[in-house]
Amino acid sequence: MCNMGLADRIIRVVIGLVLLAGAFLTVHWWLGIFGVIVLSTAVFSFCLLYKVLGIDTGCQKNRGE
């Protein structure tokens, strides 16, 4: 099950790492929660919100299908 393309995944990894860094460098610990969520969607190539909204950013193209 996949609904995220490569570009979307790369963007999410960058944003997730920035959020995690913000959580460790500031007193805003809740940024870490969002960072983990964003990173996990990138790792699994699946976003539940995309599924609900019917969005697919090109996962099939990246797998050669």
The domain locations on the chain are 6-59
- pLDDT score, position 26: 94
- Average the pLDDT over 12-19 and give the result: 97
Convert 28-52 to b/e letters by CB count within 10 Å (16 or more is b). eeebbebbeebbebbeebebeebee
- Res. 30: pLDDT tops 50: yes
CA–CA dist 18, 32 (Å, integer): 9
Higher pLDDT pick, 56 / 39: 39
- Average the pLDDT over 29-58 and give the result: 92
- Res. 62: pLDDT tops 60: no
Helix (H, G, I), strand (E, B) or coil at 63: coil
Instruction: Identify whether the C-beta of residue 1 lies closer than 8 Å to the C-beta of residue 47.
Output: no
Mean pLDDT of the chain: 89
Q: What is the pTM of this model?
A: 0.82
